[in-house]
């Protein structure tokens, strides 16, 4: 990507897996060479921030931002040379969420293949439509070989694009998040890691098409500037952009 892109993970339904997917996509983008990447957690529960505080790896960076400072912090991230910012949002539909979506180049809607989740996507779709933002459904925490997974994909396709890869429900996702890692870091050759790689590749292709359309594909990549220093929960000194997550 030749300019900074912002991917927002949004869903009205709690438990959709927004935080898990946001963290995994941020890490996979770095592993795939699409960085520097920064994460932002706008959920008051701070689950993504807590996960990041446990990480030993130096990347992705973390920006401790709030709704009122988001435009300023994104401008600083852009000036520092970040190529991708991934934003996690609260499980609610509020004016603040609509404001976050307004900064998105792409909105990813993680959706479990269940009747409750399918019924809950409407308000988030409405926000994307009102803000004229491209959106993408990501089927998450699916049960292998379950009929409802295909039915959910068909139902969602009536409202927008569904990512051509399904993330299946496996315990390695939860296990990896305990100590600030991802499935790609604990079992890089596993099925879960491959699904995340495929999902990121699809998201990346969508973002690259935006660059091509805007005529920016030939611009040179700006390297990230100096970052502030901070420490992980293990006491390791790591680069961090912005304020420390609390």
pLDDT tens-digit profile, the chain (246 residues): 568 999 999 998 888 999 999 999 999 999 999 999 999 999 989 999 999 999 999 999 999 998 889 999 999 999 999 999 999 999 887 788 899 999 999 999 999 999 999 998 999 999 999 999 999 999 999 998 899 999 999 999 999 999 999 999 999 999 999 999 999 999 999 999 999 999 999 999 999 998 777 664 444 333 333 333 344 444 444 444 433 343
- Position 222 scores a pLDDT of 33
Residues contacting 211, CB < 8 A, separation 6+: 1, 2, 3, 217
The CATH fold assigned to 5-240 is: Rossmann fold (3.40.50)
Domain ranges of the chain: 5-240
- Position 213 scores a pLDDT of 76
- Position 13 scores a pLDDT of 85
Residue 28 token pair: 């996979």
- Position 1 scores a pLDDT of 55
- Position 234 scores a pLDDT of 46
- Position 229 scores a pLDDT of 36
């Amino acid at each position: 990507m030749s300019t900074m892109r912002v991917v927002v993970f949004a869903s009205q339904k709690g438990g959709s897996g927004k935080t898990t997917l946001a963290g995994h996509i941020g890490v996979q983008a770095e592993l795939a060479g699409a960085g520097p990447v920064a994460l932002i957690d706008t959920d008051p529960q701070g689950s993504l921030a807590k996960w990041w505080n446990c990480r030993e790896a130096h990347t992705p960076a973390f920006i401790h931002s709030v709704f009122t400072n988001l435009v300023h912090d994104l401008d600083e991230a852009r000036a520092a040379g970040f190529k991708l910012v991934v934003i996690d949002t609260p499980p609610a539909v509020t004016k603040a969420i609509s404001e976050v979506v307004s900064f998105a180049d792409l909105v990813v809607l993680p959706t479990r293949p269940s009747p409750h989740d399918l019924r809950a996507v409407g308000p988030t779709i409405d926000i994307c439509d009102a803000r004229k933002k491209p959106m993408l459904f990501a089927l998450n925490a699916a049960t292998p070989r379950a009929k409802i997974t295909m039915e959910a994909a068909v139902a969602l396709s009536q409202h927008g694009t569904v990512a051509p890869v399904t993330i299946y429900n496996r315990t390695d996702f939860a296990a990896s998040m305990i100590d600030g890692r991802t499935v790609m870091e604990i079992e890089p050759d596993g099925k879960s890691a491959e699904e995340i790689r495929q999902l990121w590749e699809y998201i990346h292709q969508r973002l690259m098409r935006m660059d091509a359309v805007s005529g920016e594909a030939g611009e040179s990549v700006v390297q990230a500037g100096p970052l502030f220093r901070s420490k992980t929960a293990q006491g390791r000194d790591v680069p961090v952009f912005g304020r420390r997550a609390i």
